[in-house]
A and B are shown apart, each in its own frame.
Chain A
Amino acid sequence: MVTSPSDSERLAPDWPTVRTQLEQLFAGCDDIEMTTFRFAPDGPEEALLLSCPPLTQGLDHNLMRTAIDSLLPQAEARAPGERRPALIAFFDARGPAQRQYDLLETLPAIADAVLAGRTVLLLQGWPRAAGFESRHIAHRQIEEPATEAIINGPREGMVEDLDQNIALLRARLKTPRFKLEFHTVGELTKARTLIGYVAGSVDEPALAELKRRLKRADKIELLDTTALRELIEDNLYSPFPQYRVTERPDVAVSAVMEGKIIVMAEGTGTILICPTLFTDLFQSAEDYYQRTVIATLVRFLRIGAFFIALTLPALYIALSDFHPELIPTNLLLTVLDSREGIPFPALLEALMMQFFFELLREAGIRLPRPIGAAVSIVGALIIGEASIRAGVASPIMTVVIALTGIASFSIPQYELATALRILVFPMMLLAYALGGYGLMIGYIFMFLHLTTLRVLGRPYLSPLAPLHPRLLLDVLLRAPLRLRLRAARRQRGGVRP
């Protein structure tokens, strides 16, 4: 990396000052190693090797050896006084052929290089330094992402190494149309981030808008891609997610092929997919690895799960408090039997049980796995069984809350499930105040909000509203490939497998 240096940042011409400058720069950084060499036992000239061993661990390639092996024939042939100029000439001309290196001219560049895992070689009397690529950090192996398990299909998941992640994507998209644009953010983390898209498929206005927004990201100290989501989201206070998260390369690739933009960052395997529309949240990678009828039915199931997770407790409250005549008589009698003697109104009972359930869920996520199992036992026994026996909650309410919970688990996007966890509470209050009418008001407000929501300039509810019937083939249904191919031929576009 040859930068255009300002005078103050240049390496000092005299060797002792260079050494002092470097020692000051890395004072207190005990993980930085500085090794001094002498060219020859008789020579006064010194060379300095700078590196950060934790970043180069396990590297079995001896860089100095490489350099010196290439150097020896030249050095030995010369008289002692000529050796140094020969060496400098050698490095200036990028001598050691086996290993690529950068020429560094300033102190900050040297610091950056060392901290990025390079090994930096300085020679006395040479106003530059050579930075050898030697970064080698142990990373997690590629494994199946725990949060996006599937039955059929590729099992690779993203890791924390950005280059490895890029490799996973590039290996699947062998076209120069797949663009990856790097950008470094953060003053301390200096994390490499990138946006990826397929030129020609991508929605250009959305891409321009995203780039404009990510310009503001420079000051963000990034540990995970999700730190960028607030820049991507149009409405921060909406409960509905306007981006999607994946750790699966196949999902990311299929998204960019559909014209989406992915955002990745160094140090995390989380990929943000944007703009994500409402209907995208009901899709799972596996839909495309299953038979079309099954996949379509499963999508319907998820849509059903959405409404259950959003309204079931509220519906129960509305029916029992306002419209008991709508409950089939035999069911009503059973409900009556179970409700009799419960000291709380239906709303309080529902709020309480839902609250307990949320508590359990939260506790279960954070705890280490062996203790997590204990939580679910406590939850099932104490909250479920014992609260019914104690007469605090009715069995039917437990069924309602459990069904709501299961429905929210069956929504493939965790972010949407979280949104529903929040929305279920106002729905319950509305149902308690106004019954079925309240539920309707709740739905009207929700749909009003959804229809006004836009993501990177696109309506959140499209292709439902505004309606694009052809796109619906792959939204509500998972139409057979043949059908979609025909539709694609008409549009002259590609099609997802």
Chain B
Amino acid sequence: MKGRAALLLILLLSATGGLTSCGGMELNERAFVLGIALDLDEHQQYRVTTQLYSSGQERSDNPATGNVINIVSHGASIGEGVRDITLHLGRKAQWGHTQMLLIGEQLARSPRFREALDFFYRDDEPRLTLRLTVVKGEAGPYLEHHAYIEKSVSRQARNIQHISKKFSGKTTERNMLQLALDLHSESGIAVLPYADDTGNRETRIYYKGGAIMRNGRMVARLNAKQMPYYLMLKGDYSSGFLGMPCSDGGSSESLEILALQRRVKLHPQGEELQVQYSLQISAIARELSCTALRTEQDAERYTARIDRYLEEQLDRFSRGFMEQGLDVLALGDAVHRRYPRVWTSWKPDWDKRLPRIRPRIDVQVHVVNLGLEGGTAVFGEDTH
């Protein structure tokens, strides 16, 4: 027994010598893809811009370049375009570390978007956790900039997406798996992060709201102001600042939301769906330009004003999309989950039912800090 084990071990080790690293490849035989930008060119072919990491030693003279190279390839299919990367590089592209997939708005709105994503879903290297962003205009140029702090603009885009979702609520965060799940859900609507350029004649990624996807293509946009309301009603909002106009219309106040709890109650009543959202928000008053807080009544009035303002905004937001027949809030999924039988009868004409739904929204803001506990309000004290 022992002899046989030893023999096996020797055989295995000698086989080791024979197999010169068959499946393995040295790190410096690979090129690591950090970002991909997909567009449609003028011939309606795919233009794939691939951002690859180029190890930094020889470029150390200019560390700001971010050590990346972009390779643009064209093809009738993504695979065709991607295959050409090797021709440019002499290294095998490794897709496992891709940070960001940018999709040009034109492609996102075209029916070819589905085929394009198919490549990434079927290939084993790109991960399902790969983040996506729909960008205004063409996606390729966004990759041509250098990152501010990160090693690549792709990484930076990924981080911005994560951090701004978490701390500002101005965009959402979506990866390949979540997109697939959303598109296959009953309501069939997914919201992808949407980025614009900063506007200073620079195509730098700047997240502004979301792209509403349906049937595998982009159908509408959520702007940066609508995004927090979308996240609040979805129960996905973590924290951020909220501006509130003053009654005079000119100035504006701000409020920092620390935590938010959302509860949805829904039940079908005859042919109608009753929806009740209740939101509990804890917040801090940050800027007060048209409110004086001297007594408890002042504070109560202030809180009531926020409640009212948020209720109005949320109501307007939710109705807006429902009237367009877009189930952005995925109410269809909720009905399906709780009342599957009702859903089977409602599903065929769900789009027509949606505009009739009047969700009731109840907001309760709890201002945990009026800004006076931390010290003295130097300027805001005697404004009114």
Nearest CB on B from A182, distance (A): 36
- Residues facing A in B121-135 (CB within 8 A) are 125, 127
Q: Is A452 an interface residue (CB 8 A)?
A: yes
Q: Is B26 an interface residue (CB 8 A)?
A: yes
The reply to whether the CB of A288 lies closer than 8 angstroms to some CB of chain B is no
A-B contact pairs, 30 of them (CB 8 A): A321-B26, A324-B27, A325-B97, A329-B97, A329-B99, A333-B151, A336-B27, A336-B28, A336-B55, A337-B67, A340-B56, A340-B57, A341-B28, A341-B57, A345-B26, A346-B26, A429-B17, A430-B12, A432-B21, A433-B15, A433-B19, A433-B21, A433-B22, A438-B16, A445-B5, A445-B8, A449-B5, A452-B1, A452-B2, A452-B5
Q: Which of A320, A330, A430 lies in contact with B26, CB distance below 8 A?
A: A320
B87 interface hit (Cβ, 8 Å):
no
Contacts of B94 in A (CB 8 A): 324-325
Residues of A within 8 A of B16 (CB): 429-430, 432-434, 438
Contacts A325-B97, A452-B2 given; does A336 touch B9 at CB 8 Å: no
- Cβ < 8 Å to B, chain A residues 402-424: none
Q: Which of B2, B8, B22 neighbours the largest number of chain A CB atoms within 10 Å of its CB?
A: B2
| Cβ-based interface call for B155 (8 A) | yes
- Of all chain B residues, the one with the shortest Cβ separation from A329 is B97
Query: Is B55 a contact of A324 with CB atoms below 8 Å?
Result: no
Q: Report yes or no: B23 in contact with A435, Cβ–Cβ below 8 A.
A: yes
* Interface set, chain A 307-322, CB cutoff 8 A to B: 320-322
Q: Which of B240-287 contact A (CB under 8 A)?
A: none
B79 at interface by CB-CB < 8 Å = no
**Interface: B32 (CB within 8 A):** yes
Does B53 contact A336, Cβ atoms closer than 8 Å? yes
Task: List A residues 188-236 near B (Cβ within 8 Å).
Answer: 235
CA A155 to CA B114, docked complex, whole Å: 75
CA distance A342 to B28 in the complex (A): 9
Chain A contact surface mostly: helix
Interface residue? A441 (CB, 8 A): yes
Q: Are the CB atoms of B24 and A432 closer together than 8 Å?
A: yes
Assembled-state Cα–Cα distance A325/B94 (Å): 8
CB distance from B122 to the nearest CB of A (A): 17
If A332-B32, A433-B16 touch, whether A321 touches B99 (CB-CB below 8 Å) is: no
Question: Which A-B residue pairs are the 8 nearest by beta carbons?
Answer: A325-B96, A321-B24, A340-B55, A433-B16, A336-B55, A322-B24, A429-B16, A337-B56
| Residue total for A at the interface (Cβ-Cβ under 8 A) | 33
Encoded as 1 (CB less than 8 Å from any B CB) or 0, chain A from 333 to 367 comes to: 10111011110011100000000000000000000
Q: Provide the residues of chain B in CB contact with A332, threshold 8 Å.
A: 32, 97
Q: Does chain B have a CB within 8 A of A138?
A: no
Is the pair A336, B26 in contact by a Cβ cutoff of 8 Å? no
Assess whether B30 is in contact with A324, with CB atoms less than 8 Å apart.
yes
Q: Are B24 and A435 in contact (CB under 8 A)?
A: yes
Q: Is B13 close to A, CB under 8 A?
A: yes
Decide yes or no whether B377 CB sits under 8 A from chain A: no
Chain B residues proximal to chain A, CB less than 8 Å: 1-2, 5, 8-9, 12-13, 15-17, 19, 21-28, 30, 32, 34, 53, 55-58, 67, 94, 96-97, 99, 125, 127, 151, 155
Whole-angstrom distance between the Cβ of B236 and the nearest chain A Cβ: 25
Residues of B within 8 A of A325 (CB): 94, 96-97, 125, 127
By beta carbon, the residue of chain A nearest B150 is A330
Q: Who on chain A is nearest to B96 by CB?
A: A325
A79 within 8 A of B: no
B303 to chain A, nearest CB (A): 43
Interface flag for A493 (CB, 8 Å): no
A342 to B55, CA, bound (A): 12
User: How far apart sit A345 and B21, CA to CA, in the bound complex (Å)?
Assistant: 10
Bound CA span A330–B159, Å: 12
Interface pair A333/B57, CB less than 8 Å apart: no
> Does A448 make an interface contact (CB < 8 A)?
yes
- Whether A321 contacts B21 in the complex (CB less than 8 A), given A433-B15, A433-B16, comes out as yes
Other than the known A325-B94, A330-B151, A435-B23, what 16 A-B pairs have Cβ atoms closer than 8 Å? A321-B25, A321-B27, A322-B23, A324-B94, A324-B96, A325-B125, A333-B32, A336-B53, A339-B27, A342-B28, A346-B27, A432-B16, A433-B15, A434-B16, A441-B12, A452-B2
**Nearest Cβ on chain B to A72's Cβ, whole angstroms:** 73
Question: Is A426 interfacial (CB-CB < 8 Å)?
Answer: yes
List the B side residues contacting A434 at CB < 8 Å.
16, 19, 23
Q: Tell which of A329, A330, A337, A438 touches B57, judged by Cβ atoms closer than 8 Å.
A: A337
B231 to chain A, nearest CB (A): 27
Residues of B within 8 A of A429 (CB): 13, 16-17
* Distance of A394 from chain B, by nearest CB (Å): 9
Docked CA distance A489–B99 (Å): 61
User: Which chain A positions have C-beta within 8 A of B57?
Assistant: 337, 340-341
Q: Which residues of A contact B12 (CB under 8 A)?
A: 430, 441
Bound complex: CA of A345 vs CA of B25, how far in Å? 9
Using CB atoms, name the residue of chain B closest to A428: B16
Chain B residue numbers with a CB within 8 Å of A322 are 23-24
Determine the distance from Cα of A336 to Cα of B151 in the docked complex, in whole angstroms: 12
Q: When chains A and B are docked, how far (Å) is the Cα of A187 from the Cα of B16?
A: 49
Q: Give the shortest distance, in Å, between B162 (CB) and chain A (any CB).
A: 13
> Residues of A contacting B2 with CB < 8 Å?
235, 452
Within A100-137, the residues touching B (CB, 8 Å) are: none
Tell me the smallest distance from the CB of B40 to a CB of chain A, in Å: 29
| Residues in B neighbouring A321, C-beta threshold 8 A | 21, 24-27
From B1, B27, B56, B125, residue with most partner A Cβ within 10 Å: B27
Cα of A438 to Cα of B13 in the assembled complex, Å: 10
- Nearest to A335 among chain B residues (CB) is B27
Asked if A320 meets B13 with Cβ closer than 8 Å, knowing A329-B99, A336-B55, A445-B5, the reply is no
Task: Tell whether, in the assembled complex, residue A339 and residue B96 are in contact, meaning their CB atoms are under 8 Å apart.
Answer: no
Which of B12, B13, B125, B151 has its CB near the most chain A CB atoms (within 10 A)?
A: B12
CA distance A434 to B13 in the complex (A): 11
Q: Hey, which chain B residues are within 8 Å of A452, CB to CB?
A: 1-2, 5
What's the Cα separation between A429 and B27 when bound, in Å? 17
Q: B53 near A333 (CB under 8 angstroms)?
A: yes
Contacts of B13 in A (CB 8 A): 426, 429-430
CB-CB < 8 A to A445: which residues of B? 5, 8-9
The reply to whether A337 and B25 form a contact with Cβ atoms under 8 Å apart is no
A336: nearest residue on chain B (CB-CB)?
A: B55
Least CB separation from B2: chain A residue: A452
CA distance A430 to B9 in the complex (A): 10
- Chain A residues near B96: list those with CB within 8 A: 324-325
Q: Tell me the minimal C-beta distance from A313 to chain B in angstroms.
A: 15
Closest beta carbon of chain A to B172's beta carbon, Å: 22
Closest Cβ of chain B to A430, distance in Å, is 6
B55 and A337 within 8 A (CB)? yes
